[in-house]
A = this chain, B = another copy of it.
Amino acid sequence: MTAQPPPVGQAATPEQPPLERATPEIEQRITASFERQGLMAHLGARLAHIGPGRVHISLPHRPEVTQQHGYVHAGATSAIADSAGGYAAYTLFPEDTAVLTVEYKLNLLAPARGDHLEAQGVVLRPGRTLTVCRLEVYAVEGDRRTLVAAGQQTLICVPDQPPA
């Protein structure tokens, strides 16, 4: 899973040029929820993009997020991928609802080196009850972007709950 030839037939898209932004109301809703996620602050993650059906989250590579070889831990990679997909779905949900992750699957494709990671959650199939997202995580080092994880996630729309 390391030091392998460069991707062929790669479905990963390096960086789409002009990303659409969500409305201010939706940006505010996502940001407010994100700021209540203690884990995101603790890891040092931040929202990098909020668009309709698409959210990006970035995570600086620090010792606090590593595994035993010094790469970013699959758990930290998963955490930002899960949040990116969850918020991507949430941008499409009606008011007074909340989003919960039903399940996800993630392939770790390459060591998560680099200066920071960027997780991209994109809605593949929206729905009244269930929404399915595609998850991609890139390691970014200067101009170089490497796809380090890819997966798929199922989310459910539930009535809103007051913050605990």
A residues whose Cβ falls under 8 Å from a Cβ of B: 1-13, 16, 19-20, 33-34, 36-43, 51-54, 62-71, 73-76, 78-80, 82-83, 88, 92, 98, 100-110, 122-130, 132, 134, 147, 150-152, 154, 156, 158, 161, 163-164
Establish whether residues B103 and A52, one from each chain, have CB atoms under 8 Å apart when the complex forms. Answer: no
Most buried by B among A8, A52, A63, A164: A8
Establish whether residues B122 and A11, one from each chain, have CB atoms under 8 Å apart when the complex forms. Answer: yes
Query: Within 8 Å CB of A52, what residues of B?
Result: 8-9
Establish whether residues A147 and B130, one from each chain, have CB atoms under 8 Å apart when the complex forms. Answer: no
Establish whether residues A54 and B158, one from each chain, have CB atoms under 8 Å apart when the complex forms. Answer: no
Establish whether residues A82 and B88, one from each chain, have CB atoms under 8 Å apart when the complex forms. Answer: no
Query: Within 8 Å CB of A154, what residues of B?
Result: 102-103, 107, 154
